[in-house]
Chain A
Amino acid sequence: MLTDPRPALGEQSNFVGYLVGLAHLARAVHALACDGQPRADPRREADDFTHLLLGVASMGDAINRLAESEPAQPSGTTDAPASPATNTRWLR
């Protein structure tokens, strides 16, 4: 049931795996930019596709900054106010 949070499901969560995957995609965008072959016709303006790639790169940079930030505090020692039970039921 959606209203029945189970710690076991939380342990199986691969959230960090998603972040690592996104960071890896961002590295691939940087690698594309460093590709040795310049375009034959470099006059093109940046379009939606280019901005899409830039968006992925930006997210990867943000994830890298997360990894460089302070280690997470153990659960229960945070100063943040406790969330209402109705919100935490989604956090498994």
Chain B
Amino acid sequence: MNPVEMVGMLAELERIRELTLDLVERSAPQLLPAPPTHADGAERTVFELLLGARRAVLGNPVAARGLHDLLVAEGQRYADTPAGAELRDALVASEAVENLRRVWETLSLNVLDGPASSNAAPDAWAELLADAIIGHGLDNSVLGHFRPEGFA
């Protein structure tokens, strides 16, 4: 394989990855209510930020899992300090955290939880992907999107 073919293959893999993400996003629960497209200000910004966070998590599960584990470990270390323990207890008792947890679960679709090998995509992410593709009906119209251009 020469360098040009290798770059072409990488570009094709990226195209397939984007199409797969589109499919998962269409199958996933929508964030409601969506602010109007002409809305301006903080509401629209937060909505776009949440959608971007979901795509970043779904599109980069290994990196997202790594960052997640890093923050959880740092949080556990912080919780061992007096200030951290006080904040932990306040967070556990807060209704606002429960609301945020629901938003987070809708966003991440829980793909960062559960078992995962080191430097590998979490099992829940692979299951979500399989559900989205197989549940969508793996027929010719779906597979057609994934074929390289020029292939019947």
Interface residues in chain A, defined as those with a beta carbon under 8 Å from any beta carbon in chain B:
29-30, 32-35, 37-40, 42, 44-46, 48-59, 61
Contacts and interface: CB of A to CB of B under 8 A. Distances in A.
A13 to B, nearest CB: 21
Nearest to B96: A35
Contacts of A53: 75, 91, 97
Which of A30, A34, A54, A61 is most buried by chain B, counting CB atoms within 10 A of its CB? A54
A55 B73 CA distance: 7
Nearest to B101: A49
Contacts, number: 94
A contacts with B: majority SS: helix
B98 interface: yes
Contacts of A29: 87, 91
Contacts of B75: 50-58
Contacts of B90: 33-34
Nearest to B112: A48
A54 B88 contact: yes
Given A37-B95, A38-B93, A58-B78, A52 B72 contact: yes
Contacts of A51: 71-73, 75-76, 79, 88
Contact of B96 (A37, A44, A58): A37
B73 A38 contact: no
Contact of A50 (B73, B88, B113): B88
Given A30-B87, A35-B97, A49-B104, 14 more contacts: A29-B87, A32-B91, A37-B96, A38-B93, A40-B95, A44-B92, A46-B88, A49-B101, A50-B75, A51-B79, A54-B78, A54-B84, A55-B70, A56-B75
A58 B77 contact: yes
Contact of B98 (A39, A45, A57): A39
B96 A50 contact: no
A50 B92 contact: yes
